[in-house]
Amino acid sequence: MLYRLTIPISEEAITALRVGDQVHLSGVIVTARDAAHKLMIEKFIRVPQVVELVDLHARLKELLAGGVIYHCGPVVRQDDQGRWHFVAAGPTTSIREEPYEAEVIAHFGLRAVIGKGGMGPKTLQACRDHKAVYLHAIGGAASLIANSVKEVVDVYQKDALGVPEAFWVIRVEDFPAVVTMDSHGNSLHAQVKERSTAAFKDLISEG
């Protein structure tokens, strides 16, 4: 089934989703990779608030409440007027954020995380506890996905973290993805791993 979701996303809309559902997202999302997740954990979540980053923390709390993080290191360009544009916006491998994501979901009130390859049990439990989902974006379709990015609203920590690792705030329309971890404790990635392991054991026993 195809669901069209507007960000911020309600808890009711998230709990209606099941593994295998297709979604098209519209609204404002935030990109965050390894360095950005590490910053959120070390400067906002596990320590008292860092004074020099208080404004960024407040802005992220606003953007991510009911919102979406996208594991993406974009290719960008800047036009003659100084505006940024996404040239490529493909997903990066999500499992690298497994040590952080559960705390990020809980702290900011996220409703969805987008990436590729799936995530582990800590994130799955956080999705269940806090009513969120993991959305799988199509790897290898960076230019196609960039077409759904209609505007770069802002960017944070670009100079400190670099372009791929910065917090890019973008407005998307009909961003395509598939639910592969839902808020009911179901993980397509875990199911595939279980079936693959069983098939491998059968092959070994037959040999």
Q: Indicate if 189 belongs to the active site.
A: no
What's 185's DSSP letter?
Answer: S
The amino acid that residue 134 corresponds to is Y
Query: Half-sphere exposure of residue 165, counting CA atoms within 13 Å on the CB side?
Result: 13
Q: Token pair of 193, please?
A: 């791993």
State the CB neighbour count (10 A cutoff) for residue 153. 14
Q: How far apart are the first and last CA of the chain?
A: 41
The amino acid that residue 57 corresponds to is H
> Quick one: which of 182, 172, 193 has its CA closest to 135?
182
Cβ 187 vs Cβ 118: under 8 Å: yes
Chain centre to alpha carbon of residue 21: 17
Residue among 24, 37, 136, 184 flagged as catalytic: 37
Q: Token pair of 144, please?
A: 């196609």
Polymer length of the chain:
207
Active site residues: 37
